[in-house]
A = this chain, B = another copy of it.
Amino acid sequence: MSDGAPGRRRRPPTQIDLARRAGVSQATVSQVINETPDRPARLSPETRARVLDAVRELGYRVNPAARSLKGARNRLLGLFTFEAVFPTDQRDFYFPFLLGVEEEVAEQGYDLVLFSSAGASGPRRIYVDGVNRLKLTDGAVLLGRHVRRTELSELVKEDFPFVFIGRREVPGARVSYVAPDYVSATRDLVRRLVELGHRRILFVKAYQGAEPTRDRERGYRRGLKDSGLGVEAAIVHRLPSSGVVTAPDLGAWVRDGVTAIVADPSEDDSVAASIEAAAAETGLSVPDDLSVALLGDPSRTETTRDWTRFDLPRPELGRQAVRLLIQLLEADEGEARQVLLDCTQIPGGTVAEPGRGRRR
């Protein structure tokens, strides 16, 4: 590496170096450096010139660490996910969120810190040795299925500004979130089924469901009620922990008069695939013998069917989460806030009027 200007050290020049060279005080150097049109320094032109010469000669750069030490915010937002985002099987699911977050963060003039080291070994956690790692940033967007509620409570307790993507609740605290409006989306789907003529509509859900599942179940009941069937018409089947629908399941339901299924997505989105397999095994045709709708988009499923479903506005959820976070930051002493975003109904090809199979 050529060392053009002699005397240049590995250590980058500081304002003190400039001051020495220009024969002024360090404070004066700072004046010159920080001069802006709207906040001009009161300096003689000669002094300014001497300093600027020194800047040029020594190749001076302000040290941002030192500068921000004097300030407060550092225009850094964090993104923390409770699950690893980058393994192949997760990418399709998480990338759209990441995309929206990243775009909005950039547009707002912030930079994004991806907290991925969290998962280097062991489970991903926000608090390591009792230290909130996110605090490096002004605030953070959180994401993930397997939330650690205790960490969320901690975050609320210490007033760290954050927004969750997805509705999350913790006891005794209000969490800010931006979430898909699952209640409305499910309600609309169920109403459509009823309009098509379905009367026995089964809600199939995974073994244990968090807030999103509860919201979808609420939407299901609301759909039944709104379309005049009444909540008594609700039939809910909770899958075993395997989260898989079997051929006997399907047979029993159909014999029981069920003509349509709305399926809550399981952990790994395997419900759709298992229904598809079970139908094939039973010789049942979807949608001729049985209509099936998915309560969400099966981003992780290996399936060839064009499922009737609704899609989450993933990138938009990411963007809105960032916007909300920045609002919180600017409000400074903010109440938690919640935002719901509409899902997009996808007609698909797995829903039809009931009884079509019998007429064949």
Q: Hey, which bits of chain A sit against chain B, CB under 8 A? A: 1-2, 4, 8, 10, 12, 33, 52, 55-56, 59-69, 74-76, 84-86, 91, 95, 99, 102-103, 105-117, 119-120, 127, 129-133, 135-136, 154, 156-160, 172-174, 332-336
Closest to A68 in B: B65
The reply to whether B4 and A157 contact each other, CB–CB distance below 8 Å, is yes
The reply to whether A106 and B110 contact each other, CB–CB distance below 8 Å, is no
Q: List the B side residues contacting A119 at CB < 8 Å.
A: 106
Q: How far is the CB of A137 from chain B (nearest CB, A)?
A: 9
The reply to whether B130 and A52 contact each other, CB–CB distance below 8 Å, is yes
What's the Cα separation between A4 and B120 when bound, in Å?
A: 33
Q: How far is the CB of A335 from chain B (nearest CB, A)?
A: 6
The reply to whether A86 and B102 contact each other, CB–CB distance below 8 Å, is yes
Q: List the B side residues contacting A160 at CB < 8 Å.
A: 59
Q: Which 6 A-B pairs have CB atoms at the shortest separation, nearest pair first?
A: A61-B135, A59-B158, A106-B116, A65-B68, A112-B114, A56-B130
The reply to whether A159 and B117 contact each other, CB–CB distance below 8 Å, is no
Known A55-B130, A65-B135: A120·B109 in contact at CB below 8 Å: yes
The reply to whether B172 and A135 contact each other, CB–CB distance below 8 Å, is no
Q: How far is the CB of A80 from chain B (nearest CB, A)?
A: 10
**Residue with the greatest number of chain B CB neighbours at <10 A, chosen from A67, A103, A132, A136:** A136
Q: List the B side residues contacting A2 at CB < 8 Å.
A: 157, 172-173
What's the Cα separation between A254 and B128 when bound, in Å?
A: 66
Q: List the B side residues contacting A76 at CB < 8 Å.
A: 113, 136
Q: How far is the CB of A82 from chain B (nearest CB, A)?
A: 14
Known A52-B129, A59-B158: A117·B105 in contact at CB below 8 Å: yes
What's the Cα separation between A183 and B301 when bound, in Å?
A: 41
Q: List the B side residues contacting A127 at CB < 8 Å.
A: 61
> Within the oligomer, what is the number of copies of this chain?
2
What's the Cα separation between A108 and B114 when bound, in Å?
A: 14
What's the Cα separation between A157 and B131 when bound, in Å?
A: 36
The reply to whether A113 and B113 contact each other, CB–CB distance below 8 Å, is yes
The reply to whether A135 and B63 contact each other, CB–CB distance below 8 Å, is yes
Closest to A128 in B: B64
Q: List the B side residues contacting A68 at CB < 8 Å.
A: 65
Given contacts A59-B157, A112-B114, 15 further A-B contacts (CB under 8 A): A52-B130, A59-B132, A64-B131, A64-B136, A84-B106, A86-B99, A86-B103, A91-B99, A102-B114, A106-B116, A106-B117, A106-B119, A108-B117, A111-B136, A112-B113
Q: List the B side residues contacting A334 at CB < 8 Å.
A: 1
Supply 13 A–B pairs (Cβ within 8 Å), ascending by A. Answer: A1-B159, A1-B173, A2-B157, A2-B173, A33-B130, A62-B129, A65-B65, A84-B106, A85-B102, A86-B99, A105-B117, A106-B120, A113-B113
What's the Cα separation between A115 and B113 when bound, in Å?
A: 9
Q: How far is the CB of A114 from chain B (nearest CB, A)?
A: 4
Q: List the B side residues contacting A110 at CB < 8 Å.
A: 117
